[in-house]
Amino acid sequence: MNVSFFVEAGFVLWLLIGMSLYSLAVMMKLIFESKSKGLIACKAPFEKPTTWLFDIKQHAQNTTESTIDCLQQTLTAHSYDLITEFRTSLRPLEVISACAPLLGLLGTVIGMIEAFATLSSAGSDINPSLLAGGIWKALLTTAAGLIVALPALISWHIFDRNIERNIAKINKFIINYKLP
């Protein structure tokens, strides 16, 4: 594959390449954050100072709330803030997994328009090779859109599932926590 291949493929492929690189960067950032926040297999998550569970435990121990109901409301609000902050980091993967196939489809439509425009300008001298340029661009962008979307969608679901597991742990901690 040479440079002219990418130039001929058009702007849609370049947008998809950019989306792919951005989604990889987001995934790497999320992996790093997940490890530090204890979302991914962490030994003693209530004891490691960077994890959500440690943060919530510290918040519970340092609270001035006098009733268990007030404490549970405070801890729930605090955990909601932590979770919302991380979930916001997942948005780019969600958007890319939805937009990449649509961009691929746009490339397909553009490629087919070009193919038929070339065919119509050929007049009575119709040659199947006239269609080939537009059709390969159409198929290439469709495949690229799916190739970009699938890893983004899968990783979004994996991170979201890890968040759900941690929400369950946090809720269990809040429900079982006793005032000192």
| 0.85 surpassed by pTM | no
Q: Per-residue pLDDT tens for 140-173?
A: 889 999 999 999 999 999 999 988 888 888 888 8
The gap from C-alpha 62 to its chain's centroid, in whole angstroms, comes to 35
Does the pLDDT of residue 6 top 70, yes or no? no
* Two tokens, residue 97: 């997994």
Confidence grade of residue 98 (pLDDT, cut at 50, 70, 90) = very high
Q: Per-residue pLDDT tens for 36-66?
A: 776 766 666 666 767 778 788 888 888 777 7
